[in-house]
Chain A
């Protein structure tokens, strides 16, 4: 079955520092892959998605992610985080129309 794993439950970074959130997938074929962000008490906002083509995907809010088939990974990166980036981040893969979410990574930003 298709699945995603987010190894890091909680990450703390300093404002202005770089960020990488890990996501590993298990999928038979080339997957669609998504990253969502959720602020406290809010729904999910799509940051970026990978369907095919260029393996480096640019998203909103300065985020990017790189699809690496050899590592079954789709890690999310940002060169310089802002305090407003503090949130929960979810990686997801769709088996068909459904979405399977990772367990999420909570990002804390320290001044």
Chain B
């Protein structure tokens, strides 16, 4: 089946710094990838839709200047959390679309100290 990887799986950063999370589709091309955020014991919240070669589409309430998304190729999308704060600590999950299905990465645990 289709495999999606995320790197890193865990990251700890200091408040005010930026951190980049990569999402790769390993064995298929994905023109569309999605970024989700999941708080403890809660469901996934869609943050943005990442489209290869164009700007990402952000969900209402998600700061585009804080969560920078780049989808430079058909197999790679990156999420950069800029000027991170402790409230950005969360589990971030990406998915790659092979419509109508989505294949999910294993997630990245971000802790901002």
List residues of A whose CB falls within 8 A of some B CB: 32, 34, 36, 41-46, 49, 51, 90, 94, 97-99, 101-104, 106
Q: Is the interface of A mostly helix, strand, loop or mixed?
A: loop
Q: Tell whether A90 pairs with B44 under 8 Å between CB atoms, given A41-B107, A43-B93.
A: yes
Nearest CB of B to A96, in Å: 9
CB of B102 within 8 A of chain A? yes
Cβ distance A110 to chain B, nearest Cβ, rounded Å: 19
Q: Looking at the complex, which one of A43, A49, A103, A104 makes contact with B107 (CB distance below 8 Å)?
A: A43
Task: Specify which chain A residues have a CB less than 8 angstroms from the CB of B46 in the assembled complex.
Answer: 98-99
Q: Are B100 and A101 in contact (CB under 8 A)?
A: no
Cβ of A49 and Cβ of B106 under 8 Å apart?
Answer: no
Query: Which chain B residues have a beta carbon within 8 Å of chain A's beta carbons?
Result: 4, 6, 32, 34, 41-44, 46, 49, 91, 93, 95, 97, 99-107, 109
Residues of A within 8 A of B101 (CB): 34, 46, 49
Please state if A44 and B99 are interface contacts (CB–CB under 8 Å): no
Say whether, besides A32-B100, A49-B101, A104 and B34 are in contact (CB < 8 Å): no
The residue among B6, B44, B95, B101 with the most chain A CB atoms within 10 A of its own CB is: B44
Query: A99: nearest residue on chain B (CB-CB)?
Result: B102
19 contacts between A and B (CB under 8 A): A32-B100, A36-B104, A43-B93, A43-B105, A44-B95, A44-B104, A45-B104, A51-B100, A90-B43, A90-B44, A94-B102, A97-B32, A98-B46, A99-B34, A99-B95, A101-B43, A101-B44, A103-B43, A104-B43
Residues of A within 8 A of B106 (CB): 42-43
Interfacial chain A residues near B103, Cβ < 8 Å? 46
Give the chain B neighbours of A102 by CB distance below 8 A: 43
